[in-house]
Structure 1
Amino acid sequence: MVGIRPLVMTLFCFLFVLDYESTRAYAAAQTPSATVDARWVILDLQTQPGKKSLISIQMAIEDFYASRPNFTTRVVLHVRDSKQNAVEAASAAVDLMKNTKVAAIIGPVTSEEAEFVAILGSKTQTPVISYSASSASVSVTANPYFVRATIKDSDQSPLLAAIVKYYGWHDIIPVYEDSAYGSGILPSLIDSLQSVDARVPTALL
């Protein structure tokens, strides 16, 4: 489930850049009546979290312009459904980059999809903002145009270990998805658990 905090952080980043671009466009305009069309893109899923995120972003844009009626820049959202598939997400991103003037891509939701789109974004110098791709496998270092607006899985390991220590648990069996994204948290999680004297199955070591 998409948390409120990551979504708020994404909206903040989105509107911060929008504010900057709008101010710059307004300053560059020769007359108050000049119109600058800055096209922004959102790549989203047709799941409940995706629908709610899209509605939230649309409402944020409406509120932004309602409080700034003199801004000449207008945001156009081009919505594409990734259908919870990394290939579909990459295909949608390529289509958007080729056929529209893309300023940024918000989404997709999963880490697997985000990694595909982040690679394309870096090659085309298109910012990709994700509010839910928490896997460390999506590298910000390798993809400089990727913006992670949420907490990495590995950063949550010390918090989980603190809970284990508080309740005095000593034998822990992690349950995870058997994929690069599901198991990505294991190294940091095991280290954190061992630091509080908790044991994990030897098969994971």
Structure 2
Amino acid sequence: MTGDTPSTQELLDEIHRLNAELDKPPSYQDMNAEGEYSIWVYVRRFESWNAAIEAAGYDPRPARDAYTRSELIAEIKRVAEQCGRKPTTNDMTEYGAVSQSTYLNTFESWNAALEAAGFEPRTNGQQIGHATLCLELQRLADSVDGRPTTTEMQQQGPYSPGTYIANFGSWEAALKAAGLATE
């Protein structure tokens, strides 16, 4: 990177790098999670994320209102089939063709989108007992052969990591309550 501000070419090269790594043009979530530069650097330089994607030679994702509810539901089902389970928002970012914000704008919540697609929504953590949460952590620990990470819970568990944090105060406290804390 040249100085504190990357050049236009450096920004475009980073989009190309992520495209090669992800095998798709990166979403703004991909750039925020895995990119070298903040999404806001792109917005300042190109005026929008889609304009940056176009400048790199890729087709941007369609506008949020370009999808009907039926098309969004079909996309959830397609990703579920690809993943072999009820998809998470992370699955939709990784395998889906539509951004999370489109689902939130159309359905108001991810759970509402899941319900519309015929899946059971993720359970609100405030209604789940600590014993149930601990048992699920222990089951996941057996499945991954060690202390589960928040990513593993997000990808493989029935509850989000946020449910554990809301109930126990932190992921580490949840692991400790389940008998999985490091000594």
Give the alignment's TM-score, normalised by structure 2.
Answer: 0.29
Structure with the higher fraction of residues in strand conformation: 1
Q: Structure 1 length as normaliser, TM-score?
A: 0.27
